[in-house]
Structure formats: structure tokens, C-alpha cells
Amino acid sequence: MALMQYYHRPWKIITFLFVALTFISSTASAQDKLLFSGFAFSGNYENRKELYPYSSTIEFLKSDNGQPLLNKVFYEKIKNRPHEDARLTTELGRIGQGNQITVAFALTYEKVEYMELDGHLLLFLGINANVLAFDRASKQLIAAYPLRIRYHDTVIQRLSDEQIVELFKKLYLTNELGINPFDEWLNKFAGITFKGRHTKYLQVKNIDIEPEALKMVTANNQSPKALKNLIANELESSIASTNNIPIIPWSPGEVVGRVMALRFCDGNTFNLNLPNPDYEVDFSLRAFRGTEVEGAYSKQKIYRALGTIKIFEPDINKYLLNENIYNTQIVTLAKAYDAKVEDWEQYKKTLNELLYDTSKQFSTVNSGWVKEHASRGAEAINSFHEASKIIDQLK
């Protein structure tokens, strides 16, 4: 879908996407109350100001009774949902006694971005999180349900950090922006069930930025680390939503030993043990390339993102899929309106489309898409069919 067509709608846009994916290893009955741990930051807590500068600022706000404000608002929303409230308890009790299955809101990604378009300055706020379920006694991850929140608006000028914090406060603590992360968490939690069966697991494992792409990243004053995190989050969400399969969460704080670090608003910390993936997805960003074509009344800006997608099976030490892929976006700008777009934002949009459309091929292979977007063209079709057989095992 062309960029200009996408934004021919009211400037204030609120969108959200969430997908439900289940890791199954629990035999707890649906009638058991789940322990509720509230809001948590994923990753090394010492890096929270780099990973989550605005959410971590709100974390330290306290309610009248001294309770962390994020948890207080979360608890109040639960109390207003009798069905969900009946499934949860904050009475943790003693380890080893009763049901130890615990659920939490785990923040995994936060972003603030701007884009200039047709003389307007667009502001984007984004939050990625997981509805996590884990065994408190064994600290074993049981389930992950990816959740993505997006808020878009027009602004007169770039906002100060204090103004951005106020927007995040409205997002978390109110419904003034038309969407609330805790409401969406509860909406998804309402449909969660735990099934007592074993399944295989897949994880987005390795993200690489090759030298040609890295030159473009640094030329645009972007952080390679942040871009890797963005690619991993977009890729796992795309695979999850288009194939409806379980995914071991990507964690920017994952360390040796396959653990996922969590730090809760109440001060508790956990290192959750992650299941070993049966299959690993790797992605290499090879390059960004672009050009302009001048016309009498308009000009076209052409953006291309090139990458390599791989699926690896550790048990046999073999890549089951290894294909170079690319995506091209053409933006037509009318000279009469002096329309402008930020090149870096368009490269990222082109990359995100590539990740999403490639993920779709894992369930239903579109031969036409593969011929157009795989470097080997029609010769890559069989490889994607083989990949779809792997994904079928995970459903």
C-alpha cells in the first residue's frame, strides 16, 4: 500500500494490534486462581532508562497509599472486570503451596518517533509488551501473548521529554488517548486458556546488520542496537500474528543460560527460564538502497530494503530456510504541494513490510510474492513450502 494512500485519512490515528500465542507446559485447571504480579520491565533493569526512558519515569510515581501508580491503576481496572478479577489473586502465599502460575504485564519495547508528511509533523508512540504466564516456583516460562499498542497524532513541533512523559502517563493511567495498555492486556487475558499438551517452540534468535546497511544506519544517526531490537520485535510479532504459533519472546536483556530478566514495580525481580527453541529464526539486514525519478509534475522516491531470512534447527545443526529477500516501496510526491517525507522513516516502513509479508509465506506460500521478492525468484518457492511444513508442526 502506497504511503500517500495510507495517510489519506484523519490525522489523528489510533491503531493497535495484539496477537495471542501460547506456550503449553502447564496442567493447571482453568478453575485455579492465577497469581497476579502486575507491571514488569523485561531485560536488565540497569538499562531501563535506555530501553524504557518514559515508562521507567512513570514507574517511580506513587499513589496516595504509597503503591506504585502503574500497579494501582492496573488493579483498579481488574476490579472493574468481575470475570477477570475472579481468575486472579494477589495473595501469593508460600512457594510450593497451591497454584504457582503467575501472570504479568511485561514491557518489551518503547518508542517515540516523528515523521514529516505534507507539511505536517506526525508523532508516533509505541509500546510492545507480553502477557506473560510463568511458574513462580520453578521460574519457568509457560506462556507469552504479544501485545502491541500504537498511538499517532499531529503536533506543531517536537515535544520536550516532559511533554512526552505526560503523554505516556495519559496512555497508561487514563483512556484519554482512546486506548489503554492495561485494558488491552485484560481483553487478551480474558481469552487465555492453558492446555495440558506439549508443543515445539520457535524463537527469533539472531539479528545482524551487515556493513552496507550499517553505513545507512549510522548516516541517519540511528542506534544499531535499537534497530536490532526493533527488527526482532517486528519479526516475532509478524510471525506470531500471521501464523498463529507459539513464540519464545525476544528479550533485549537475555543473558547466557537462557533466562529472561524481569523487574516488577513492587521491586521483585525474576530471571525466568526460557524453553529451548526447536527452531530459530535469524534475520540479516543487508542494505537500504534508494533513488529518485523526476517527472513533469511529480517525483517518485524509490526505497528498497534487502535482507536474508533463515530458519535453523539446532538439533541437526542445519538451516532449513536460507533466502535473500527484498521489498521495494515507491512514493509519488506532487511537486505542486511541495510534499516531503523523511527517507529514514520510509526505509523502516519498507523493512517492516518485508518482515510482515515474508512471515505470511510461512503458512500460505504466495508464489507470485516469492518470485517478486526473493532473490532466487521462482527457485525459492520450494524452500518456502518446506518452511511452511516446519511452521505447521508448531500449531
Strand partners, 290: 303
Three cell numbers written together for 52: 524504557
How far apart, in whole angstroms, are the C-alpha atoms of residue 25 and residue 248? 13
Contact indicator for 355, 306 with CB cutoff of 8 Å:
no
Is the pTM above the cut of 0.85?
no
Half-sphere exposure at residue 264, Cβ-oriented, CA atoms within 13 angstroms = 19
pLDDT score recorded for residue 371: 97
DSSP string, 113-151: EEEEETTEEEEEEEEEEEEEEEETTTTEEEEEEEEEEEE
CB neighbours (10 Å) of residue 364? Answer: 11
CA distances from 310 to 21, 203, 350, 387 (A): 21, 12, 19, 10
| Residue 257: predicted pLDDT | 58
DSSP helix/strand/coil, 59: helix
Report the alpha-carbon distance of residue 43 to residue 109 in Å, rounded.
10
CB-based contact 104:264 (threshold 8 Å): yes
Give the whole-angstrom CA distance, residue 314 versus residue 279: 7
How crowded is residue 48: how many other Cβ atoms within 10 Å of its Cβ? 20
Q: What is the pLDDT along the chain (395 residues), one digit of tens a residue?
A: 333 333 333 333 333 333 333 443 333 343 468 889 999 998 877 777 788 899 989 987 877 777 888 999 999 999 999 999 999 987 654 444 556 788 999 998 888 888 777 678 889 998 988 888 888 888 888 877 778 888 999 999 999 999 999 999 999 999 999 999 999 999 988 877 655 445 788 899 999 999 999 999 999 999 998 899 889 988 988 898 788 777 888 755 444 457 888 899 888 888 888 888 899 999 999 999 999 988 887 889 999 999 999 999 999 999 999 999 999 999 887 776 666 778 998 999 999 999 999 999 998 999 999 999 999 999 999 999 999 999 988 87
Q: How far apart are CA 40 and CA 198, in angstroms?
A: 27
Q: Which residues in the chain belong to E strands, given as ranges?
A: 13-18, 34-42, 88-89, 101-117, 120-135, 140-155, 202-209, 259-264, 269-273, 279-294, 298-313, 318-334
Q: How far apart are the first and last CA of the chain?
A: 30
- What is the helix (H) or strand (E) element at residue 4, kind and residue range? helix 3-6
pLDDT (0 to 100) of residue 387: 93
Largest Cα–Cα separation, the chain: 76
Domain ranges of the chain: 10-199+248-274, 281-394
The 3-state DSSP class for residue 219 equals: helix
pLDDT for res 256? 47
pLDDT of residue 339: 67
Alpha helices in 108-254 (DSSP H): 161-173, 181-189, 211-219, 224-243
pLDDT score of 197: 47
